């Protein structure tokens, strides 16, 4: 009888632990990405990220590296990644099979001049899909670049005046659709800088931890 009770108890414990295990929520990770900088808004963006213990990947433009070298150095701190966003930031980057690679290499040269090292992390303007051809993608990847798009777009950079409440609502619905891994597209501009504290709070309240996208990140 005692043995029966023991085995019954063991069985209940095993079944219970399987149920609890099965119900354990999947870890949710949010990767903040910030395009088009640096700008005069960068220091406030970095302060706000640090306040929330959030990392970020900054996809920077060549001319802005040269205009704001000190802000690039601020981005190069722990928990942040400096990635490449190119030179032209218009259709020119997609003009020829080699033009995306040429633009990223030029941007990387500017970064190397400043930091003494290069980046392998790339975001092409407006996203790689459908803009990059297979050949352009292949040339970038063969050169060692890792291309990252996003799956949450709060649309914080549409038009001259950005509707803050619409951005926050887009973020909330985007997170719901994204599931446990959210790569969030933001831009280095004043309106985003001012809303960032609230943006990060919404992400935290949705149960995400912050991760930093870098060359080792695999989705
Ligand atoms: Zn951009």
- 92 C-alpha to center of ligand 1: Å? 13
pLDDT in tens, 57-83: 999 999 999 999 999 999 987 899 999
Half-sphere exposure at residue 59, Cβ-oriented, CA atoms within 13 angstroms: 30
2 part of a folded domain:
no
Higher pLDDT pick, 47 / 24:
47
Q: Is 61 part of a structural domain of the chain?
A: yes
In a domain, 1, yes or no: no
91 part of a folded domain: yes
pLDDT in tens, 155-194: 999 888 889 999 999 999 999 999 999 999 999 999 999 9
Quote the domain boundaries for residue 108.
28-211
Residue 80: phi and psi, rounded to 5, are: -125, 155
**Cα 192 to ligand 1 centroid, rounded to whole Å:** 14
Token pair of 200, please?
């990060």
Instruction: Give a yes or no: residue 98 inside a domain.
Output: yes
* 148 located within any domain: yes
Q: What is the CATH number of the domain that holds 116?
A: 3.20.20.370
Domain count, the chain: 1
The Cα–Cα gap between 192 and 186 comes to 7
| pLDDT > 90 in the chain, percent | 84
The pairs formed by 153-162 with CB atoms below 8 angstroms and a separation of 24 or more are 153/185, 154/184, 154/185, 154/186, 154/199, 156/185, 156/186, 156/187, 156/189, 156/191, 156/192, 156/195, 157/35, 157/36, 157/187, 157/189, 157/192, 162/189, 162/191, 162/192
Q: Is residue 206 part of a domain?
A: yes
pLDDT at 181: 98
* Ligand 1 ion local residues (Cβ < 5 A): 35-36, 125
Is 4 inside any structural domain?
no
Q: How far is the CA of 218 from the centre of ligand 1 (A)?
A: 22
- Residue 4 alpha carbon to ligand 1 centre in Å: 67
């Amino acid at each position: 009888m005692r043995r029966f009770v023991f085995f019954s108890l063991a069985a209940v414990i095993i079944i219970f632990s399987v149920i609890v295990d099965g119900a354990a929520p999947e870890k949710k990770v949010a990767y903040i990405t910030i395009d088009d900088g640096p700008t005069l808004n960068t220091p406030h963006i970095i302060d706000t990220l640090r306040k929330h213990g959030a990392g970020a990947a900054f996809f920077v433009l060549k001319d802005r590296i040269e205009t704001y070298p000190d802000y690039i150095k601020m981005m190069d701190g722990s928990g942040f990644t400096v990635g490449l966003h190119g030179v032209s930031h218009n259709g020119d980057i997609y003009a020829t099979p080699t033009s995306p690679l040429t633009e990223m290499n030029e941007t990387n040269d500017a970064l190397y001049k400043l930091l003494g090292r290069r980046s392998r992390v790339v975001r092409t303007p407006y996203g790689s899909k459908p803009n990059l051809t297979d050949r352009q993608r292949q040339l970038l990847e063969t050169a060692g670049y890792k291309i990252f798009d996003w799956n949450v777009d709060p649309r914080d950079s549409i038009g001259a005046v950005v509707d803050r409440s619409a951005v926050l609502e887009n973020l909330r619905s985007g997170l719901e659709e994204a599931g446990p891994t959210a790569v969030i597209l933001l831009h280095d501009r004043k309106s985003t800088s001012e809303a960032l504290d609230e943006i990060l709070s919404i992400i935290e309240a949705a149960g995400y931890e912050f991760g930093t996208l870098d060359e080792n990140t695999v989705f």
